[in-house]
Amino acid sequence: MATGSDRIAVEVCKGVNGLDKVVLREARGRSVEVYLYGAHVTSWKNDNGEELLFLSNKAIFKPPKAIRGGIPICFPQFASHGSLEQHGFARNRLWSIDNDPPPFPVVSTSRTFIDLILRPTEDDLKIWPHSFEFRLRVALGPGGDLMLTSRIRNTNTDGKPFSFTFAYHTYFSVSDISEVRVEGLETLDYLDNLQNKERFTEQGDAITFESEFDKIYLSTPTKIAILDHEKKQTFVLRKDGLPDAVVWNPWDKKAKAMPDFGDDEYKHMLCVEAAAVEKPITLKPGEEWKGRLELSAVPSSYCSGQLDPRRVLGS
């Protein structure tokens, strides 16, 4: 079955275990796959049909387990910052296709997109007593960029505001974690999840990885880069409405403890998550919040041991 304005570019079909998924296709090998289960993007491919996101070989595609890899949506709670289950419930609910979403103020540059919606069930209201509409647009840009726009509206009729934390928990595929560096977070304050969420300040150098890493960077710039030396590829994240950035790699010990993650897979993934964690977002009834993430993969400026951050972050 095809849907949307372009019947070839947007296809609804069955994925693993018969779960519904939507495939977006653009010129050449570019594509994106998103499951209705969790509104979970599981695949993003470039011109050559190469996968850019990490998805575990042991990922479990069975509710209520969240899919390990891709882009889980953390809402209404990031991690254990509250009384709900880890990372909230949006990532393990069945979303619907939204055929008639309210218009966006700015006309989209992409014709290849799908709109999904999540509203709370009676059971959800028992654990989080707030009525909301969460609309997610997943779009594949003409240049192969992956664009995610979340619009969350308070539809409470009891006059009550609600607060939430949020993250696009993106798992990037990398050639070798020890060859990767993240730029754009130097000198920022962060909360270290491995040290009781204590606050520290990052030193001047780009971030590299040689052991377990789990930090929430605060008040981050709108642009962050992940440089993969071996692949000579750079991921650029552009974000809006999402001040924080979580950087996570479980490393070997934690990898072994996760049943849906291969023992050595930590070497080939890195999570850099555009997020709103430190200061929860509060919405009054009728108010809407918007959080946007744009991902692109570009050839790296890395050349014989020299990186020029200005070329990576300046454009």
CB of 76 to ligand BG6, least distance (A): 15
Residue closer to ligand BG6 by CB (options 136, 275) is 275
Residue closer to ligand BG6 by CB (options 113, 248) is 248
Stretch that binds ligand BG6, among 79-87, 131-139, 140-148, 226-234 (CB under 6 A): 79-87
68 in a labelled binding site: yes
Interaction between residue 87 and ligand BG6 (CB under 6 A) = yes
CB of 86 to ligand BG6, least distance (A): 4
CB of 61 to ligand BG6, least distance (A): 15
Q: Which of 169, 229, 278, 294 is catalytic?
A: 169
Residue closer to ligand BG6 by CB (options 85, 179) is 85
Candidates 47, 51, 63, 86; binder of ligand BG6 (CB under 6 A) is 86
What count of other Cβ atoms lies within 10 Å of the Cβ of residue 26?
Answer: 21
Candidates 114, 174, 227, 246; binder of ligand BG6 (CB under 6 A) is 246
86 in a labelled binding site: yes
Binding mask 145-184 for ligand BG6 (x = CB under 6 A): ------------------------x---------------
Of 71, 102, 75, nearest to 87 (Cα)? 75
Candidates 124, 273, 278, 294; binder of ligand BG6 (CB under 6 A) is 273
Residues sharing a CB contact under 8 Å with residue 45, sequence separation 6 or more, in sequence order: 29, 30, 31, 32, 51, 52
**268 catalytically annotated:** no
CB of 296 to ligand BG6, least distance (A): 22
Interaction between residue 81 and ligand BG6 (CB under 6 A) = no
91 in a labelled binding site: yes
Q: Which of 33, 183, 273, 294 is catalytic?
A: 273
**87 catalytically annotated:** no
Contact 202, 186 (CB under 8 A): yes
Residue closer to ligand BG6 by CB (options 87, 267) is 87
CB of 218 to ligand BG6, least distance (A): 14
Which positions make up the binding site?
A: 68, 86, 91
| Active site residue ranges | 169, 273
